[in-house]
Amino acid sequence: MTVLTMGCRVNQFESAVLGQGGEGCGFRHAEAGEASELVVINTCSVTGESDRQARQLIRRARRDHPGARIVVTGCYAQNAPERVAAMPGVDLVLGNGEKSRLWELLETAPVAAPESGGRIVVGDVATLTRVPAMAPVDRFGDRARAFLQAQDGCDRACAYCVIPRLRGPSRSVEPDRVVEQARRFLESGYEELVLTGVNLGAYGRDLAGRPTLAELARLILELSDVGRLRISSLDPLDIDRGLIALMGDSERLCAHLHLSIQSGDDGVRRRMGRGRGRDAVLERIARVRAARPDVVLGADFIVGFPSESEEAFQRTLELTEEAELSLLHVFPYSARPDTPAAELPSALLVPGERIRERAGRLRQAGEAQLERVLRERVGGEEVVLVETVQAEAGEGKSGGFLSVRLPGALDAWRGALMPVVVEGIDVEAHCLIGRVAGGEARRSGFR
C-alpha cells in the first residue's frame, strides 16, 4: 500500500488515518521503490496548478505501480470526479465526504477494466454536518511533528476560493476526540503537535457550548508538562482574547502564528470578501505582540487580485513592514472557475507580468523582514525540534518556526526538542546556525 498526499495539513492528517486504516485491513506500507498493490492519492484543488499536479501524480502512480488498484480522493476528486474516473488505471474516486469509508467501499468496488473508467462515490459536501469519527492514529508517517485535525470546511465566501464548495460547511471535531488523538500522539513520543483545520479560527462555533480554540489548546497543553503545541493558519480577526491570553500565559504554546491576510488594501479586501480592513488586522496583531513579544508572524497574500492598483499593492507592502511579517507565502492571483472573482470584468484584471513583478517585490520584503528577525536571534537560545539528521548535520524549527541548522547533530536527536544556542545565520538559506546546549535531548516522559 502506498498513500500519496497533496496539499494542506488536514489532508496530511486524513492520510495518516487512511494509512493506519489500511494496516487494520491487512495492507502493508510499501518500502521506497517497491511496487504497491494499492495506491491511495489524497488530492488538492486549491488552484488550477493543483489540479494539474493531481493528474500528474495519478499518471505517475500508474507508471510506478503497474497493476495496482488506484483510489483517488480529496478535493480534486470532489471537484472533477468524472475526469478523474476517466484516467487510465483509476479504480475508485471518493469525495471528501466519503473518504472515511474508503476501506468499506474498496471491498465492494470492482477492479476497473482498462477502458471502463473508475467507480465514482462522490456526495454533496454541502449536506455534511459533522467530521466523521475515525479511530485515533498512533503515527504520523516519518514526520517529527504530528498534526491534529480540529476542524473541517468553511463558511466564508471569499471571492477567489473554491474550498467551501469542495469541503463543505465549517464543522468542528468534539474536544474529547481531539484531546484523545493528542494523547495518542504524545504516548507515541511526538514532542510537537500542530492544531489544524480548513478554517481553524471557526473552531467550536457549531458545537454545543461553543468551546473556543483557546479552550481546546489549553486542554491539550494540560496533557503533559513538556513538549509544545503549535497553532496553524488563522484569520487574524479570529484571534480572540482567550487565545491572546493563552499565548501570554504558556511558553509551550509556540510563539508563531501564520495569518490569512491576503491583502493590505481595504478596497481589495472588500472585493475579496475578507471582511474588516487593515486597521482591524493591525490592531489584532498589536495585541498578540503585546502578549507575546517574541512571536514570529507569517502570512498568506494574494498578489494581483482584480482591481489591485499599484497604490493598493503598496498598502500591502506597508502592512507587511508595519506588522513585521517575516514568513510570507505569496500567491500570484489566477482565476478559479466557478468563483465570483472569475466573473469580474476583464477591465479589472491585472496583467500577468505585473502580477509576477509584484509577487517578487513582496517576497523580497518578506525576506528582508526575515533576515532582521534571524539577526536578532543570534546570541540567544531557542528550543528546536530536530526534524532531519543527515551527514552529521541536523535541521529543525524553533518555536517561532524559524529554520535552524545544527552541525554535528546525532541521529538520536531526531524528533527531540533540543535547547540550542544560536551562533550565526545563513542569509542565503534563511536559517539560524546553532549548537546544542548540553547535548541531551529534552524528551517528554511519554517516551
Structure confidence by residue, pLDDT tens digits, 125-146: 999 999 988 878 988 888 899 9
Give the model's pLDDT for residue 441. Answer: 47
Mean pLDDT within 314-337: 95
379-436: per-residue pLDDT in tens? Answer: 999 999 999 999 889 999 999 999 999 999 888 899 999 999 999 999 999 999 999 9
In terms of Cα–Cα distance, which of 18, 8, 221 is closest to 137? 18
Q: Has residue 443 got a pLDDT over 60? A: no
Query: Which pLDDT score is estimated for 446?
Result: 33
Q: Where are the domains of the chain?
A: 2-123, 130-254, 258-377, 379-436
> What pLDDT, on a 0 to 100 scale, did the predictor assign at position 30?
83
Fold match between domain 130-254 and domain 258-377:
yes
Q: Provide CATH code, domain 258-377.
A: 3.30.750.200
CATH number, span 2-123: 3.40.50.12160
What is the distance between the alpha carbons of residues 73 and 41, in angstroms, rounded to a whole number?
A: 6
Q: pLDDT tens digits for 231-284?
A: 999 999 999 999 999 999 999 999 999 999 999 999 999 999 998 899 999 999
pLDDT at 340: 94
Environment class of residue 103 by beta-carbon count within 10 Å: exposed (0-12), middle (13-18) or buried (19+)?
Answer: middle
- Domain 379-436 sits in which CATH superfamily? Nucleic acid-binding proteins (2.40.50.140)
The pLDDT value recorded for residue 178 is 97
Of 3.30.750.210, 3.40.50.300, 3.20.20.100, 3.40.50.720, which CATH number belongs to 130-254? 3.30.750.210
* Identity of residue 196: T
Confidence class of residue 445 from pLDDT cuts 50, 70 and 90? very low
pLDDT value, residue 115: 59
In the predicted structure, residue 110 carries a pLDDT above the cut 70 = no
- 90-104 tens-digit pLDDT: 999 999 999 999 998
**Residue corresponding to grid cell 506588522:** 323
Which three cell numbers, joined as nine digits, stand for 230? 503549535
Average pLDDT, whole number, for the chain?
92
Residue 7: CB atoms within 10 A of its CB come to 19
Confidence of residue 25 (pLDDT cuts 50, 70, 90): confident
